[in-house]
Amino acid sequence: MFSRQSPAHSESCQTCTGSRREFLWEMGAGFAGLALTGMLDEDGFFASQAHAAVTRQADRYVDPLAPRAAHFAGKAKRCIFLFFYGGPSAVDTWDYKPELQKRDGQTIDIEIRRNTFQQKQILGSQRKFCRYGKSGLWCSDAFPHISQVMDELCVIKSLYADTFAHGSGMIQMNTGRITQGYPSLGSWLGYGLGNVNNNLPGYVVMLDPRGGPISGSTNWSSGFMPAAYQGTHLRNKGEPILDLIPKEDMTHEMQRHEFDTLAHLNAKHLADRPGYSELPARISSYELAYQLQSTAPEAMDLSTEDQKTLEMYGLFDPKPDHKLSVGSEPFGRQCLIGRRLLERGVRFVQIYSGGGHQQESWDAHAGMEENLAIHAPEVDRPIHALITDLKRRGMLEDTLVICGGEFGRQPVSQLSAGRDHNPKGFLYWMAGGGVKPGFSYGETDPLGHAAEENPRHIRDLHATILQLMGLDHEQLTYFYGGLDHKLTTVKPAQVIDEVVA
């Protein structure tokens, strides 16, 4: 009888000794869980924890990309991140620094790499700045078109990050950490909110024709989260998605026949194996794959866009002479595709401007003016068009547009009038999606070197992005290696409330 009693005891213990995650999962998923779930969910605790249990150690198959409720009603439903890879300069674009201009050529002692100070010459901007719109936000003449929509922009001028190097900087901007192995922002959004449209990937990345960013796919990796949350690399040319198109020369009917036969045989297999929800899930994943073959090309097909729209996005602008320039066509096309993807329910689109190394990207060591001459015209019309287009379609208010790089640049000269990396004070702007339009927040010092007024770490930017998307960065956690991981890391982070409308 011992054997009957003792396990009974441990049985009851089992429930209370299971980890809180597993316990909550059981409660939430099981019979008696509803009331408790409701109580706990008031602070979103259940949602995040049960969620982790579901995806990492599911006993029953749960679609990792199933749509999930936000923690609260977010102002933005979707997000497009225009990543200026290489690190764009603030003082030549949207941050006018009269003091910098005044002191052009003076020699100062400045931190060039962490704790490494050097005597350098101040490099004033060659750009002309004006105030625009009702808001009177500054914009340089590098962006004659973007300057026309400054009233939509919310400029944050006082961000700082933790690293002077591209490798770790890219990773931090995308994952919150300077070390590899953590999930990227898009993964967090997918994990927190799921997919709306299963016929398209929820997290799409588009790259510059000159190459990928440093560290490549690490930047859109899902880290320790399942691969389902990683970004999908979408291509402009050829196959839009890896292995989307059959290699064999086959007709639509032949392919359908293959899918149907697969489904038929899988159904037979399933009938003999009750209680395994992963089997039907896999069967439906083939249907989704099949759908994707038509939905992805459709989303990328610009033939239904009118001529004016294509022109507005800069698709027909002539390519400038500079050898490294690719003109505004690729980025414009990507922005337009981005808008189409967002319309179709894609949650997060990230477009890289700049690829490869140095002047191929915004990495302007070898000449600030040359760098701007290459890259500014490539993005100027497309970004203007994207904002205008989103607005006229009524999408801007619930679409968050984010623009910036892995860090900014130094106010001093390097090589022949170039600028070195600077993570101590740099600029991002956002638009739409619940941010204050025509608003400027924070300042760097008068030269533009370090964040001075309202300095905010990029953790705060990440927290703000999540907030705008309806997610509390404290509650959006993923349990791994003994810790509830957050995009905003273990260090304190706060939403930049001032920029939220």
Partner 1 sequence: MFYPRRATGLCHGQSMVSLTRLFCLHCQGLILLATLLGPLYGPVEAAGEDTHAGITSADRDWWSFQPILRTKPPWDEVVAGVPWHPIDAFLHQRLAVAGLSPSPLASRRELVRRVYADLIGLPPSPEIIDAFVADESPDAFEKLVDRLLASPYYGERWGRHWLDLVRFGQTNGYERDAEKPNAWRYRDYVVRSFNEDKTYDRFVVEQLAGDELDDATNDSIIATGFYRVGSWDDEPDDKQVAYYDELDDIVRVTANTFLGLTIGCARCHEHKFDPIPQEDYYRLLAFFRNVAPYGRDISSSHYGLNPDAVLTPLVTPTGEAKWAVDKARIRQEVSAAKDKLAVIYAAAVARQDENPQIARLDTLRSAFAVPPTERSTEQNELVVQATANSIPRDQLVMWLDASDPDGDSDPSNNPTPDTAITQWSDAHWKDKTNSGNDAVLGARLSESGAPSLEDSLADLSNSQPALWFDGFATGLDTPLRANPVQGDIPAPQFTVVAVVRAVADDTYRSIWTFDGATGGHNRGLGVQEGQFKVQAGGPTISAPAPAQDWCIISVTFDYPNGVTLAVNDNKSISSVGEIPTVHDNAMTLGYFPVHFTAEGAQHLEGQLAEVLVYRRTLEDKEQARLRGFLAAKYGLLASVYAKQGKEALNEEEKKDVKQLEDSLKQLDGKLANTSMGKALSVRESGNEVQPTYLLVRGDAHSPAQEVQPTFLSALGGQIPEIRKHPVSDNLSKYGVQSTSGRRHALADWMVDPKNPLTARVMANRLWHYHFGKGIVPTPSDFGQTGTAPTHPELLDYLAAELIRGGWQTKRLHRLIMTSWAYRQSSRAADDHAMEIDPDNRFLWRQNLHRLSGEAIRDAVLAVSGRLNSTMEGRGVFPTLSQEVLATQSISGNGWEKSSLAEQCRRSIYVFVKRTLRVPILEAFDVPTPDAPEPARPQTTISPQALILLNGSFMNQQAGDFASRLQSDFPGDSRAQVRRAYRLAFGREPDDEEMKTALNYLAWQGQQWTGQRQAKNEPTQEADASVYALKSFCRMLFNLNEFVYVD
State the minimum distance, in angstroms, from the CB of residue 132 to partner 1: 29
State the minimum distance, in angstroms, from the CB of residue 360 to partner 1: 5
State the minimum distance, in angstroms, from the CB of residue 165 to partner 1: 4
Per DSSP bridges, beta strands 439-441 and 426-432 are unpaired
Buried b (16+ CB within 10 A) or exposed e, 323-343: ebbbbbbbbbbbbbbbbbbbe
Q: Is 212 in the site for partner 1 (CB under 8 A)?
A: yes
Tell me if 363 sits within 8 A of 87, measured CB to CB: yes
State the minimum distance, in angstroms, from the CB of residue 386 to partner 1: 23
Task: Pick out residues in 446-465 that bind partner 1 (CB under 8 A).
Answer: none
Comparing CB distances to partner 1, the nearer of 201 and 425 is 201
Q: Is 8 in the site for partner 1 (CB under 8 A)?
A: yes
State the minimum distance, in angstroms, from the CB of residue 234 to partner 1: 10
Among 106, 107, 180, 294, binds partner 1 (CB under 8 A): 180
State the minimum distance, in angstroms, from the CB of residue 226 to partner 1: 4
Stretch that binds partner 1, among 69-77, 222-230, 391-399, 458-466 (CB under 8 A): 222-230
Buried b (16+ CB within 10 A) or exposed e, 418-447: bbbbbbbbbbbbbbbbbbebbbbbbbbbeb
User: What phi and psi values does residue 128 have, to the nearest 5 degrees?
Assistant: -100, 135
Task: Mark residues 249-268: x for contact with partner 1 by CB under 8 A, - for none.
Answer: xxx-xx--xx--xx-xxx-x
Longest dimension (CA), the chain: 91
Comparing CB distances to partner 1, the nearer of 243 and 497 is 243
Q: Is 186 in the site for partner 1 (CB under 8 A)?
A: no
Query: Which residue's structure tokens are 């400027």?
Result: 440
Comparing CB distances to partner 1, the nearer of 12 and 107 is 12
Q: Tell me the two tokens of residue 155.
A: 């400029």
Q: Is 297 in the site for partner 1 (CB under 8 A)?
A: no
Q: Is 269 in the site for partner 1 (CB under 8 A)?
A: yes
Comparing CB distances to partner 1, the nearer of 136 and 492 is 492
Tell me if 350 sits within 8 A of 205, measured CB to CB: yes
Task: Pick out residues in 50-79 that bind partner 1 (CB under 8 A).
Answer: 55-61, 63-65
Task: Pick out residues in 393-432 that bind partner 1 (CB under 8 A).
Answer: 415-416, 423
Q: Is 190 in the site for partner 1 (CB under 8 A)?
A: no
Q: Is 34 in the site for partner 1 (CB under 8 A)?
A: no
Among 421, 408, 402, 409, residue whose Cα is nearest residue 462: 402
Among 319, 338, 337, 339, residue whose Cα is nearest residue 329: 319
Q: How far is CA 218 from the centre of its chain?
A: 13
DSSP E strand boundaries for 301-445: 348-353, 399-404, 408-409, 421-422, 426-432, 439-441, 443-444
Comparing CB distances to partner 1, the nearer of 118 and 309 is 118
